[in-house]
Amino acid sequence: MRSQNAIFFKEKIMAAETIFSKIIRKEIPANIVYQDELVTAFRDIAPQAKTHILIIPNKLIPTVNDVTEQDEVTLGRLFTVAAKLATQEGIAQDGYRLIVNCNKHGGQEVFHLHMHLVGGEPLGKMLDK
């Protein structure tokens, strides 16, 4: 178990140079739809629905487990930006889904906290079980 924790910790450290960090700094191209001093939002390159936008804090927070009380304003901004973008995308009325995955079993692939805003079509069940 200890070696797994060491590997996982190393993955979190390496997150400082994830693709999301590079998008925030505009070092690589992305279809950014919103950016302010706290968060950045951009279209997913492999959308799972007609609308699929990722909303991320500009500050590196690897997972939900790493959130602190000092992050409350930033996390609140994730939700207000999600609502604003849902309205702009024309999906607020019919509904949409907000998804935050945490760690490997939760489906997190990039260790930079991010919220998926998906909608624009019926989404079906969240889990197949």
Q: Are strands 39-43 and 96-99 parallel, antiparallel or unpaired?
A: unpaired
Catalytic residue among 52, 105, 112, 114: 114
Q: How far is CA 97 from CA 64, 78, 106, in A?
A: 18, 13, 16
Q: Dihedral of CA 36/121/109/28: which sign? A: negative
Q: In DSSP terms, which residues pair with 109 in a beta bridge?
A: none
* Catalytic (active site) residue 114: yes
Sheet strand arrangement including 115-119: 32-35, 39-43, 51-57, 115-119, 96-99
Angle at 73 between CA 111 and CA 69, to 5 degrees: 70
**Residues identified as active-site:** 114
